[in-house]
Amino acid sequence: MIDWFAIIMGSTLFLLMIPMVYRIWVGPTPFDRMLAVNVIGTKTAVLLVIIGTLFDRVDMFVDFAIAYALLNFVSAIVVSRYLNRTISLREMEEREKAKGAKV
């Protein structure tokens, strides 16, 4: 019973990553893309725990999930600091408005 539940939940989480891939591809701003990558990373950490449940090795996969979530968090902070220093959000919005006005 638990195996089927874990498989269904894992498949559902995987399917919910598809709209985030679209947001990474199309995203109007780099911040939207970064947020989508962060959401995929969080769902991947949860998927690791679900995989650990399927293989009856939750203890090992929880360690992997924690390490992956920490890496995801740190990388999101590093990228956001980089984007914050290279271009301000106000400039980015003005560029998007100007780009929309030209079309």
Domains of the chain by residue range: 2-102
* pLDDT of 4: 87
* pLDDT of 96: 81
Topology of 2-102 in CATH? Helix Hairpins (1.10.287)
* pLDDT-based confidence at residue 103 (cuts at 50, 70, 90): low
Those residues with Cβ within 8 angstroms of residue 40's Cβ, 6 or more apart along the chain or in another chain:
17, 20, 21, 24
Q: Give the burial string for 44-58 (b: 16+ CB within 10 Å, else e).
A: bbebbbbbbbeeeeb
* pLDDT of 74: 93
How many CB atoms neighbour CB 13 within 10 A?
A: 15
Q: Where do we find the tokens 């992956």?
A: 68
* pLDDT-based confidence at residue 73 (cuts at 50, 70, 90): very high
What mean pLDDT do residues 27-32 have?
82
What mean pLDDT do residues 19-41 have?
88
